[in-house]
Chains A and B, each alone.
Chain A
Amino acid sequence: MKPKDLYIVFIIALVIGVFPWLTGRNEYFISLLVFMGINGMITLGLSLLMGYAGQISLGHAAFFGLGAYSSGILTVHYGLSPVAGFLFGILLSAAVAYLVGKPTLRLKGHYMAVATLGFGEIVFILFNELSFLTGGPSGLSGIPALAVGDLSLEGTAYLYLVWGLVLLLLLFSLNLINSRVGRALRAVHGSELAAGAMGVDASLYKIQVFVLSAVYASMGGSLYAHFISFISPSSFSLMFSILLLMMVVVGGTETIWGAILGAAVLTLLPEYLRGLEDFEVLAYGAILMAVLLFMPKGILEGFQRLWARAQGGS
């Protein structure tokens, strides 16, 4: 990992640390930051999968859902601890990702996207139909808050938990991409032919990073379920998979930071556009189009370019 990366991680930690206290621990701001963190956690994994290994997934809402429902079902129906639900979700998502990834990762480009889309739809239907477990379309309510002993983690404490985990996963991912594994992923993306000829087992790394990204998404799902205490299938639809993908693309697929920035921007944007009422969706779409037209490599790279130009001009 580069020193600059560590510096930015530290700054994020500082901002998240002091933010609740600057805003009088405003619940609305805290929940926004929590959602930002949860989305960021999932896009981190997707960034590894898409930006580094070059594989597209339109099914990550499913892994997010598997985490959320694992936590929800095990705590509500079976009275297990949230930690058990969290870990079960990770194992379940990893296992499902492995089984789904084995055949689909042989596909390339659009075909891979369509295959994962199909997988996401199947899981979405299961969430709706297995109503004895999931509560069906009307959802699953009464999911307990996370607790350490008697102390339940809510508000600021939960924010710290979510972002603590985001930063740990971020550090893990940064280490990973600056290692032989990260190079192997980029090599597979750059030229699978040459990667193989240099001894890289492309299918091994593709499946590993697919499973890893599913685990990240599952963690996000568990944290989501405990935070809002009610989940229903609509949160895990294709729309969310697409939104996740957009976060990565809008932020920029070339570095892992793009994923965090994209998650932050697209989590906040709808909140700021709310005042436009009927025109909200229109404005949202227009902004996305403008970003991709003028900053095709994502806003992170776009702003870096603008910054460099401003420096050069002054």
Chain B
Amino acid sequence: MSSEILNIQGLQKYFGGLRAIDDLGFAVSEGQIKSIIGPNGAGKTTLFNLITGIFPPTQGMFTFAGKILNGLKTHEIARLGISRTFQNLELFPNMNSLENVMLGCHCHTRAGIFRAGLRLRGMRQEEEKIREKAMEELRFMGLEEKALLGAKSLPLGEQKLLEIARALATQPRLLLLDEPAAGLNIRETEALSESILRIRGRGITVMLVEHDMSLVMGISDEVLVLNYGKKIAEGQPREIQRNPGVIAAYLGEEAGNA
């Protein structure tokens, strides 16, 4: 078995009486694209929020590359090498695209208030490096020409790509993409799927929450299906497509006919 980068055991999350995640356990192998699918409200985004420490689990344990994530704050988890995008875009509206991506370099740079305020020499070099790295990521996502435009002035599809560029700038080992294709047209979705494959090509493990089944089935190495917070299936896309439980719960007639 290839090495595990993320391991989740006995995960539970209750919101009051609602079991958003119910006794969930799975592992993600390094370098794969693992998709999480399931009907609306199945707990997919909750799972991402739990992994990134936005709220604590009711029960359960996460380990990332051998380190226990429980109890760490969001920014500490980001520093360990987990980055993400958001379902409802969380770009910084008060910055341009380049600055948004430059912010992604925050983890790997160091200048504090005094070094920055006095503009010491090391800081200027660092700033130059940040700019280069951010431009590199913009170029990687095909957004280099939009660098100086306000992040929120871009069309939706490009805002989604910009969030990915920003997440890549943190130099993650694991990237969580929350519905990156929502609202994209077919051509944009195709470009996105190529981008995700190129991200995996850089050795970055990808977890993908997505409703677009052709995207999921086309690029995933493994698929995990959630329903009401429970795992109902896990395996390669082909197995998932044939799994009767999944068809009943989620894919419905469309997949049944396929």
Residues of A within 8 A of B83 (CB): 197-198
Q: 1/0 contact trace for A177-212 toward B, CB 8 Å?
A: 001111110110111011111111110000011001
A1 sits at the interface (CB 8 A): yes
A176 sits at the interface (CB 8 A): yes
B117 sits at the interface (CB 8 A): yes
A303 sits at the interface (CB 8 A): no
Say whether, besides A172-B118, A183-B102, A198 and B86 are in contact (CB < 8 Å).
no
A201/B75 in contact, CB under 8 A? yes
B113/A212 in contact, CB under 8 A? yes
Residues of A within 8 A of B156 (CB): none
A173 sits at the interface (CB 8 A): yes
B74 sits at the interface (CB 8 A): yes
A194/B91 in contact, CB under 8 A? yes
Cβ of A189 to closest chain B Cβ, rounded Å:
6
Residues of A within 8 A of B166 (CB): 198
Residues of A within 8 A of B255 (CB): none
Residues of B within 8 A of A179 (CB): 111, 116-117, 119, 123, 127
A199/B94 in contact, CB under 8 A? no
A175 sits at the interface (CB 8 A): yes
B111/A180 in contact, CB under 8 A? yes
Residues of B within 8 A of A200 (CB): 75, 103, 106
Say whether, besides A180-B111, A193-B90, A187 and B116 are in contact (CB < 8 Å).
no
Cβ of A9 to closest chain B Cβ, rounded Å:
13
Cβ of B131 to closest chain A Cβ, rounded Å:
11
Q: Which residue of A lies closest to B78 (CB)?
A: A199
Question: Number of B interface residues, CB 8 Å?
Answer: 38
Say whether, besides A172-B117, A198-B107, A180 and B94 are in contact (CB < 8 Å).
no
Cβ of A252 to closest chain B Cβ, rounded Å:
13
Interface positions, chain B 98-140, Cβ under 8 Å from A, are 99, 102-107, 109, 111-113, 116-119, 123, 126-127, 130
Q: What range describes how many residues of A lie at the interface? A: 20 to 34
Our pick among B84, B94, B117 for the contact of A173 (Cβ within 8 Å) is: B117
Cβ of A208 to closest chain B Cβ, rounded Å:
6
B8 sits at the interface (CB 8 A): no
Residues of B within 8 A of A212 (CB): 113
Say whether, besides A180-B130, A183-B106, A197 and B84 are in contact (CB < 8 Å).
yes
Residues of A within 8 A of B111 (CB): 179-181
Our pick among A198, A201, A208 for the contact of B103 (Cβ within 8 Å) is: A198
B65 sits at the interface (CB 8 A): no
B103/A197 in contact, CB under 8 A? no
Say whether, besides A179-B123, A200-B75, A186 and B94 are in contact (CB < 8 Å).
yes
Say whether, besides A190-B93, A191-B91, A193-B54, A175 and B75 are in contact (CB < 8 Å).
no
B198 sits at the interface (CB 8 A): no
Residues of B within 8 A of A198 (CB): 75, 78, 83, 103-104, 106-107, 166-167, 170
Cβ of B207 to closest chain A Cβ, rounded Å:
14
B52 sits at the interface (CB 8 A): yes
Most buried by B among A176, A193, A194: A194
Cβ of A124 to closest chain B Cβ, rounded Å:
29
Residues of B within 8 A of A175 (CB): 116-119
B242 sits at the interface (CB 8 A): no
Residues of B within 8 A of A183 (CB): 95, 99, 102-103, 106
A sample of 23 cross-chain residue pairs with beta-carbon separation below 8 angstroms, ordered by A number, consists of: A179-B111, A179-B116, A179-B119, A180-B102, A180-B109, A181-B112, A181-B113, A181-B117, A183-B102, A183-B103, A191-B92, A194-B86, A194-B90, A195-B75, A195-B103, A197-B54, A197-B90, A198-B78, A198-B167, A199-B75, A199-B78, A199-B79, A199-B107
4 smallest A-B Cβ distances: which pairs? A190-B92, A179-B116, A199-B107, A194-B90
